[in-house]
Amino acid sequence: MMTRSFSMTRRTTLAGLSTAAALAALPAFAASGPAREMFRHGVASGDPDATSVVLWTRVSGVESLDVEWELATDPAFGKLIQTGRFATGPERDFTVKVLAEGLRPGGHYYYRFRANGVNSPVGRTRTLPVGKLERLGIALASCSNYAFGYFNAYDAIARDPVIDFVLHTGDYIYEYGAAGWGSETARKLGRVHEPANEIVSLADYRTRHAQYKTDAGAQAMHAAKPLLACWDDHESANNPWVGGAQNHQPETEGDWQDRRNASIQAYFEWMPVREPGPGRTRAQFWRTYVFGDLATLSTLETRHTARALQVDYEPYRKSIASFADAARMEREALGAPGRTMLAPELEADLSAAWQNSKRLNQPWRLIGNPMPIARTRVPDVVSLGVIPDPATQAKPLPAAQDLAWKGKWNLPFYPDTWDGYEWARERLYSQARTAGVNDLVFLTGDSHSFWANRLADAAGQPMGVELGTAGITSPGDFVESGFDPVTAAKLDQAFAEHNPEVVWTDNLHQGYVRLVLTHGQGRASFVAVNTITSPVYSTRVISRWSLRKSADELLMERV
């Protein structure tokens, strides 16, 4: 065990790493004294390219002022390479966001800010490499709900020396009020959501982002590693589409466009992401990151620029009386032509990224994917004996009733994922095949579960693999729904045995995925934290997988 102080003491054992190596991975400095008050939300960096990177902080307890910033090649700032000033104030919620440019490709840098004579904590960052690259380490993170516990997995990522960049695929914040999802746990831990209401206004979203960035684990990770981000739904509201959201009620919460715009503005103020280029809007939030001759990572925007309205299962619960009825519903509703997910501009950028990747002869093409893409149908868990028939129970779990109905008719688990957009999924796969690509690596969040999936199109042609991460704190569906751990584990096994694309899954843990790529192979480690209800934690790898290319497809094997 080892001890190191950030804004609170955390003791960890980092899975698979020596104590010396883990200590070397810690952020350079932590806030203390006046810096803790002035820079109470820490520092962050992200959205790099080969010659630039975004540097971020927020100042507290001041009026409008100019904040100084420094960039150096050493943690003592004896070798300054850039300095500047940035004007901030209430119009941007006192956030500071600098695009440091003219940097060296693949360079490692230290940065800090100064306000009213007070220095911020020190952050470390890096630019994207160019040319020959031997290895790349990416941490995959998702679903960090403040109410459910401490962001220990973020802290573990900060300490993980093999991680170069952090990919966060969304649900960085949650919009629920203090009495909403996770409220009972939040009261016990003293992590009740602020503001107390469900967030709707710009002020609300700003306050919620501010609260999340007070977590010690979040501050550690952001100070130690540059962030590559995309969003999912809870950065705005649960299950949004271009015309609204499941968790938005216009009669009491106003116009959806106003709420969406407020959420996007707060996101761009509080996250280390660069502003859109010419001809693009903030809503068109997707990126292409090129890692030398090794990999290209493309992130997706699946909520605000193209998504068609989700299919609701409720109207079909009484009308489906046979497998033919279920198949017709899937064909006419879930699989209806024209049910879009990705904007045309994003599709064009994906094709360009894949063509460039092939030109560079890169072995890896990664997709930062906000929600699961593998075909995941519910097995008949009642007939299999995994759960008792809810019809025989005096007080059945609502989740058991839901699984029993879906499993009876072999329906997709969630219609909000790619399973609810079969036309769009096949369109994406067809686009990839046209570009000569059938070896995609989808890095996925949203589900609060770990996944190792083999992907294929509707004709059964291999399309790559999917690595899904559990939540940083958000609980797995089966556990959160009230199933005991033994039953939850049996449900995992039943899903893996029933679905050809699902090789392995686990909904019992929180954590992150460590992906290390070389030219010859990839190694994926599913890293779980043992607790999120205390800042004293340990980690362990619960599953390891090897990725390698064959002549005509991408192979994934457990090791």
Among the listed residues 202, 203, 224, 210, the one whose alpha carbon sits nearest the alpha carbon of residue 172: 210
Structure confidence at residue 6 (pLDDT): 32
Q: How far apart are CA 373 and CA 370, in angstroms?
A: 9
Which helix H or strand E contains 431, and what residues bound it? helix 422-434
Looking at the predicted structure, is the pLDDT value of residue 268 above 70?
yes
> What end-to-end distance do the CA atoms of the chain give, in Å?
27
Structure confidence at residue 556 (pLDDT): 97
Q: How far apart are CA 155 and CA 520, in angstroms?
A: 30
**Residue 102 gets which letter from DSSP?**
S
Long-range interactions of 33-37: CB distance < 8 A, separation 24+: 34/118, 35/118, 35/119, 35/120, 35/121, 36/7, 37/61
**Which tokens in the block code for residue 507?**
């909904």
Looking at the predicted structure, is the pLDDT value of residue 33 above 80?
no
Identify whether the C-beta of residue 306 lies closer than 8 Å to the C-beta of residue 242: yes
Q: How far apart are CA 200 and CA 205, in angstroms?
A: 7
Domains, the chain, with CATH or none:
2-30+131-377+412-558 (3.60.21.70), 31-130 (2.60.40.380)
DSSP secondary structure string for all residues of 210-276: HHHTTSHHHHHHHHHS-EEE---STTTSSSEETTEETT--HHHH--HHHHHHHHHHHHHHHSS-PPP
Structure confidence at residue 20 (pLDDT): 38
Among the listed residues 387, 404, 416, the one whose alpha carbon sits nearest the alpha carbon of residue 489: 387
Looking at the predicted structure, is the pLDDT value of residue 9 above 50?
no
Task: Please give the share of the chain, as a percent, with pLDDT higher than 90.
Answer: 92
What band does 550 get if pLDDT is binned at 50, 70 and 90? confident
Residue 373's identity, in one-letter code, is I
Q: Compute the mean pLDDT over every residue in the chain, rounded to the nearest whole number.
A: 94
Looking at the predicted structure, is the pLDDT value of residue 459 above 60?
yes
- pLDDT, one tens digit per residue, over 120-164 is 999 999 999 999 999 999 999 999 999 999 999 999 999 999 999
- pLDDT, one tens digit per residue, over 363-411 is 999 999 999 999 999 999 999 999 999 999 999 999 999 999 999 999 9
Which phi and psi angles does 186 have, rounded to 5°?
A: -60, -40
Residue 178's identity, in one-letter code, is A
Structure confidence at residue 12 (pLDDT): 56
Identify whether the C-beta of residue 542 lies closer than 8 Å to the C-beta of residue 450: yes
Q: In b/e form, how buried is each residue of 398-426, taking b as 16+ CB within 10 angstroms?
A: ebbbbbbbbbbbebbbbbbbbbbbbbbbb
- Please state the rounded mean pLDDT for residues 80-88: 97
3-state SS assignment for residue 352: helix
For residue 18, how many other CB atoms are within 10 A of its CB?
A: 10
**Angle formed by the axes of helices 216-224 and 152-159, nearest 10°:** 30
Instruction: Tell me whether strands 118-119 and 108-115 are parallel, antiparallel or unpaired.
Output: antiparallel
Identify whether the C-beta of residue 171 lies closer than 8 Å to the C-beta of residue 234: yes
Q: How far apart are CA 194 and CA 177, in angstroms?
A: 8
DSSP secondary structure string for all residues of 392-409: G-SS--HHHHHHHHHHHT
What band does 483 get if pLDDT is binned at 50, 70 and 90? very high
Structure-model confidence comparison of residues 319 and 64, the more confident one? 319
- pLDDT, one tens digit per residue, over 323-337 is 999 999 999 999 999
Structure confidence at residue 64 (pLDDT): 85
Structure confidence at residue 34 (pLDDT): 79
Instruction: Tell me whether strands 462-468 and 440-444 are parallel, antiparallel or unpaired.
Output: parallel
What band does 24 get if pLDDT is binned at 50, 70 and 90? very low
Residue with tokens 């090649």: 73
- Please state the rounded mean pLDDT for residues 204-215: 98
Q: How far apart are CA 393 and CA 453, in angstroms?
A: 34
Q: How far apart are CA 500 and CA 374, in angstroms?
A: 9
Among the listed residues 160, 170, 169, the one whose alpha carbon sits nearest the alpha carbon of residue 220: 160
Q: How far apart are CA 373 and CA 340, in angstroms?
A: 14
For residue 396, how many other CB atoms are within 10 A of its CB?
A: 15
pTM exceeding the 0.85 threshold for the entire prediction: yes
- The residues, ordered by sequence, that sit 6+ positions from 270 with a Cβ below 8 Å of its Cβ are 58, 93, 95, 206, 209, 210, 213
